[in-house]
A and B are shown apart, each in its own frame.
Chain A
Amino acid sequence: MTTPPQTDNAPPAGVTRRQFLQNGLWGLAVAAVGAITGLAASRSSRSSHFWQLDPAKCVQCGRCETACVLTPSAVKAVHAYALCGYCKLCGGYHQPQAQRIDTAAENQLCPAGALIRTFIEDPFYEYTINEERCIGCAVCVKGCSQFGNGSLFLQVRHDRCVNCNECAIARVCPAGAYRRVPADHPYLLKGSPEAHA
């Protein structure tokens, strides 16, 4: 390779050699791309993976609200009704310093008014989440985990999530709670979803 081709000789011979080299390198490149594809295909799956957060690891830091590429975040609070105690004074709903146990705005924890409190029967109240309003700040989740059953928790809602190649929240999650989950089990729920069916 170190001896350059003798240019003053017959030029067609040089051309064919260069052509031969070019063809050989092309074949090599095709083989390399093929090998990479094969190697990748052996580690691939038909179904895609989706980002989800593990509520058991979540520390309710509030970064889900701010780090998501969507505004408002694709992470929302969800409620496992099977775990809920239906308390009149709800650690997830009421301010710790609340003056009265009612639905007045100043007594509510949720900054977006997304947690809805409905009377069922004395002394039980149902708490539902208005997903349109929820910003995924985890304030209610923190309150519920600290003072209640922990029936409120965060989940990535797949009807909103755009499934970034690397989730922007996963990148900053202090608890490492985010991971890729298979498409057939896209939620990591507290309790079982069948429990209240």
Chain B
Amino acid sequence: MTRPHRLVGLWLGVCAWAMALPSGAVQRFPRPDFKTDYVSPELLLPGPGGPMLEVLDVAVLAAALALAGWFALRQRSRQGLLLLTLFSLGYFGFWRHGCVCAVGAVQNLALGWADASYTIPVTVIAFFVLPLLATLFFGRVFCASVCPLGAVQELALWRPVRTPAWLNHTLGLLPWVYLSVAVLFAATGAGFLICEGDPFVGFFRMGAPFHMAITGALFLVASLFIGRPYCRFVCPYGALLGLLSRVSRRHVTITPDACVQCRLCEDACPYGAIRSPLPAAAPEARATGVRRLALILAAVPLIAIAAAATGFVFGNFLSRAHPRVALALEIHREAANTAQPMSLEREAFFTSGLPTEALYNDARTIQGRFAVGGTLLGALLALTVGAQLIGLSLWRSRTDYEPDRARCFSCGRCFAYCPVGRKPQETPK
């Protein structure tokens, strides 16, 4: 911006008396003594809306979870679940704009745990805990018809393509990676990764930055053909829910009664969550299985140590995503190179008048936290992979077709495929 030339004199003339005032005055031009009875307008400061809406959100969440459990377990009604899905999409999605959501709430908990100055809103705790509790009792009914992100994908699924089991298992590890990196980011104050990576919040708000709009569109197109790609391969909260769902008190069953092994439901699940029966005996010698298990058990600690070391290095790399570290690195790099145009961040820092050394110290502290977090993250991920490997190498006999509790969203698609439940309709009169 160019400085005023022509008008400077006039301006000074208008406010010349201001200059004559004592230099101690903070204001360049003090408030005039009005001769008329002028009164300044009131500065209106509208407060935030009351907590009523948040209380309503929590109440609706609790009611929707209970209703979803009732539809899935007691009523066995796909229609009821679908109606609830539509309601949740409308309420939590398009009306409440998908924020605050259970998926992102884990970040607030991480931040609250790491940063003593941040207090976690009660609403956020409720959004985090209620679906977990519901999962412990009913399985992943939250995913079925309460989560607005799940709702978009559930309704968008048009021509399901079955993805192979090996791909499901491999990509199924991604949510754990995402979860641990997001928790690391939130705890170190680098930002809320899950919020920024939210695929559909742009649709709910009818507006998004370019990268979020593109991500959202890609996920939407993918979910036309692949069942719930975000839920299965990305959602960090789904990883937690899947873990808890394994030990849930009750869970959706494919058949309302005894399974007759008709195989009709085998292809019903677009999410690869139906496990077919397995014979009692493993198709290999017992010694082979034992040797493999021993090998895995021996390898897991080694993998964990290697992963922790990798995490240490990777944490240092990740720390560049933190704005303070990025700024410190930039200032350090550009210290000699003054020809470069100044970034807004650098300009703002120099305007603030803080010493560079303070920034460097900040950045070092943050980098240290990232290194510790990265080490833990690596070890934890290795243990997750190890648990997955152990689970895959154990032979568990199954007599019936049953849902894979960790992967089943309790959507109820399989209900209609089971002939056992359909008997009354098949025999008229």
Contacts and interface: CB of A to CB of B under 8 A. Distances in A.
B29 A149 contact: yes
A105 interface: no
A132 interface: no
B258 interface: no
Given A33-B136, A44-B120, A101 B347 contact: no
B46 A174 contact: no
Given A82-B31, A171-B196, A44 B40 contact: no
B2 A97 contact: yes
Contacts of B248: 26
B7 A128 contact: no
Contacts of A26: 136, 247-249
B216 to A, nearest CB: 13
Contact of A48 (B2, B27, B48, B116): B48
A86 B119 CA distance: 41
Contacts of B136: 26, 29-30, 33
Contacts of B128: 36, 40
Nearest to B186: A166
Contacts of A67: 209
Interface in A25-49: 25-26, 28-30, 33, 36-37, 39-41, 43-49
B278 to A, nearest CB: 12
A48 B196 CA distance: 21
Contact of A121 (B28, B35, B352): B35
B43 interface: yes
Contacts of B47: 158-159, 183, 186
Contact of A44 (B5, B121, B394): B121
Contacts of A121: 34-36, 38
A147 B207 CA distance: 36
Contacts of B14: 87-89, 123
A37 B125 contact: yes
Interface string A46-90: 111110000001010101000101110000001111111111110
A12 interface: no
A43 B348 contact: no
A191 to B, nearest CB: 9
Helix, strand, loop or mixed for chain B's interface?
A: loop
Interface string B86-123: 00000000000101110011011100110010111111
B131 to A, nearest CB: 10
Contacts, number: 215
Contacts of B123: 48
Contacts of B29: 85-87, 148-149
B99 A83 contact: no
Given A101-B10, A174-B344, A85 B32 contact: yes
Given A44-B122, A164-B99, A187-B45, A96 B297 contact: no
Interface string B71-95: 0000000000000000000000000
A175 interface: yes
Contacts of B337: none
Interface in B234-260: 243-244, 246-249
A180 B27 contact: no
A2 B294 contact: yes
A148 to B, nearest CB: 6
A117 interface: no
A36 B136 CA distance: 14
B59 interface: no
A88 B97 CA distance: 44
A148 B348 contact: no
B2 to A, nearest CB: 6
A162 to B, nearest CB: 6
A124 B29 CA distance: 12
Given A44-B121, A85-B15, A96 B36 contact: no
B30 to A, nearest CB: 7
Contact of A2 (B34, B108, B246, B290): B290
Nearest to A63: B344
A117 B323 CA distance: 39
A79 B31 CA distance: 13
Interface string B33-68: 011101011110111110100100000000000000
A130 to B, nearest CB: 12
Contacts of B5: 97
B121 A49 contact: yes
A94 B3 CA distance: 12
A33 B42 contact: no
A89 B16 CA distance: 12
Contacts of B385: none
5 contacts: A7-B397, A49-B121, A81-B41, A97-B6, A165-B195
Interface of A: 2, 4, 7, 22, 25-26, 28-30, 33, 36-37, 39-41, 43-50, 57, 59, 61, 63, 67, 69-71, 78-89, 94, 96-98, 101, 120-121, 123-124, 126, 128, 142, 147-149, 157-159, 161-166, 168, 171, 174-176, 180, 183, 186-187, 189, 193, 196-197
Given A69-B205, A124-B32, A166-B107, 13 more contacts: A33-B244, A48-B51, A48-B123, A70-B207, A89-B11, A101-B7, A147-B4, A157-B46, A165-B124, A166-B191, A171-B196, A175-B352, A193-B43
Q: Which 4 pairs of residues, A with B, have the shortest CB-CB distance?
A: A85-B29, A81-B40, A45-B119, A159-B46
